[in-house]
Structure 1
Amino acid sequence: MATTRTVKQRIPSQPTSDGDGVKIKRIASFNNAATSPFLMIDELKSDESRDYIGGFPPHPHRGIETFTYMMTGHFQHRDHMGNVGELRDGGAQWMAAGRGVIHSEMPIMTDGQLHGFQIWINQPAKDKMNPAKYHDFQPEVMKEFTTETSGLLRVLAGNLHAQGEALQGPLQDTGVESIIADWRAETSQAVTLNVPSSHNTLVYVYAGTLLVEGTQVQSGELAILNAGDTVNLSAESQTGALLLSGEPLHEPVVHYGPFVMNSIDEIQQTIDDFNNGVFETY
């Protein structure tokens, strides 16, 4: 019998900066079992180039996957393995850092606007020392579902059932089963989504206000949902929201800057490897 998910907790995003002074709104949740496997959500939104012009110069990662989604604006990726990619409006890119990667990320406005997200997904302990991987996905490959009553749903990663329709996102090879989708709706539009009952499921509202089974969630808030297999969303105003749903990892998380491992000893080894130039040999 289907059970409907309700809101367990709402977490407001916090303004901060990263990279070369890039202004972002962040949800950091490294040690919250209820959000696993998702570790962090950064929202980049600006109509002022000075808020992001320095971008994210070359920096390392180990032990995570990053998923970057640009709704408005371009995003240039370069890494030490020779991968180069530039997202257009509506595109996404995925990187599994594994044992180590050094990359740069440079946002570029479209028509004076920039709006996108970077999501950190934890890698299972068994994958943290695998070789790094990178893929980008331009807007043409994104799967969309729209009706007059349910708004527009874009499935970016994983497999999602919406209003009885089975939708498959272009990204399928995440290390842990995950679903990422973007829902945009006008006032009074509503959608019913089906997600695996074993998943942790989150909703991040980036525009307007919506209801999750009667609980109001506002722009800039993350809603952590209770257990269930059905998510009912309804728009109280013109609304945009990300749905994140994933199989939780029941493993210890030790986080230090751009590194996420399972123990202090592994973090220290990672720091030593980076300082000794080991990352550049992968």
Structure 2
Amino acid sequence: MAIRQIQSLIPAHPSSDGDGVRIQRVHGFSNPLFSPFLMIDELKSESAVDYIGGFPSHPHRGIETLTYMLKGHFQHKDHMGNVGELSDGGAQWMSAGKGVIHSEMPMMTDGQLHGFQIWINLPAAKKMQPADYHDFQSDVITQYQQEDGSLIRVIAGDLTIKGITFSGPLQQTGVPVTIADWQTNKAATFNSCLNPDFQAMLYVYRGTINIGEKAISAGTLAMLGSGEGLAISTRGEAGVLLLSGQPINEPVVHYGPFVMNSMEEIEQAIQDYQQGLLV
């Protein structure tokens, strides 16, 4: 079995979004090796001033988002009447499709906030489908504890470990993806099989991990090469998100909250929003 190796490393950079929410961001809108993913935002704070404004009502078209909270709450409201509030360890998925208008508000738990929002592209055939939303509290996230004490949480898609396939609660994404979280408080290893036709990347959010001889520290995204096997090790505490998905071989044009296949489609999205026709 060919083990995936590091192809490139991309450090997250400080940014802000919404009403001044401070985040660490990695994006790959123009990078075909990032596909089907578009962006990863990490929200981490012990100070309310970093996020208190939240993300007031705003539109999207052409993408899906997956929000995953390690620590803290995340409130969602949208034009469809959906109201959801994640607690520690929960996730929420939204498909903007033709259009959605929503607001999001992060809140601390015990003085801490730590979570992620991942943007996933939609193929052209699904960019104008109806919007949809689901949330998944921590108790429905699939978990597997290894003998070394490390914990694997499968949020979306399927992940095979030691010949056993674990399925996350989110299965209806617009393009097949696997999203999982590996956590350990001590030296540990993580080995799994990935779909060889999927592209894959790892975002380290705590500690340092190793793939072969190369070390990847927190706040860094590792783009992985081809192969079926994944082998990760660490000498101490670590946390890492695994993102793997079927690439979308289509043009990507990004403008603010809209991701389409051409500038003409972007201009139409802006016009529809201005005229109240987005949703």
TM-score w.r.t. the length of structure 1 is 0.97
C-alpha distance after superposition, 1:168-191 (max 9, x if no partner): 000000010000000002332001
C-alpha distance after superposition, 1:35-75 (max 9, x if no partner): 10000000000000010000000000000000000110000
Name the residue aligned to 2:132. 133
Name the residue aligned to 1:5. 4
Unaligned runs of 5+ in 2: none
1:101-250 → structure 2 map (5 Å cutoff) = 101-149=100-148, 151-250=150-249
Q: Distance in 1 between matches of 2:101 and 2:217?
A: 36
The DSSP-based 3-state class of the residue aligned with 2:32 is coil
The DSSP-based 3-state class of the residue aligned with 1:265 is helix
TM-score w.r.t. the length of structure 2 is 0.99
1:67-106 → structure 2 map (5 Å cutoff) = 67-106=66-105
Matched, 1:57 2:56: yes
- 8 Å contact from structure 1 (residues 150, 191) kept in 2: no
Percent of counterpart pairs with the same letter? Answer: 56
How many angstroms does 1:236 deviate by?
2.8
How many angstroms does 1:235 deviate by?
1.1
Q: Distance in 2 between matches of 1:169 and 1:207?
A: 22
- 8 Å contact from structure 1 (residues 160, 167) kept in 2: yes
Letter in 2 for 1:18: D
Letter in 2 for 1:205: V
- 8 Å contact from structure 1 (residues 36, 247) kept in 2: yes
- 8 Å contact from structure 1 (residues 91, 139) kept in 2: yes
How many angstroms does 1:258 deviate by?
0.4
Deviation above 6 Å: which 4+ runs of structure 1?
Answer: none
Unaligned runs of 5+ in 1: none
C-alpha distance after superposition, 1:8-27 (max 9, x if no partner): 00000000100000000000
Aligned positions, number: 279
Worse-matched range after superposition: 116-125 or 227-236:
227-236
- 8 Å contact from structure 1 (residues 186, 235) kept in 2: no
Q: Distance in 2 between matches of 1:199 and 1:215?
A: 22
Q: Distance in 2 between matches of 1:150 and 1:232?
A: 17
The DSSP-based 3-state class of the residue aligned with 1:34 is helix
Letter in 1 for 2:269: T
C-alpha distance after superposition, 1:239-266 (max 9, x if no partner): 0000000000000000000000000100
Q: Distance in 1 between matches of 2:161 and 2:118?
A: 22
How many angstroms does 1:150 deviate by?
6.0
- 8 Å contact from structure 1 (residues 8, 225) kept in 2: yes
1:254-265 → structure 2 map (5 Å cutoff) = 254-265=253-264
Name the residue aligned to 1:267. 266
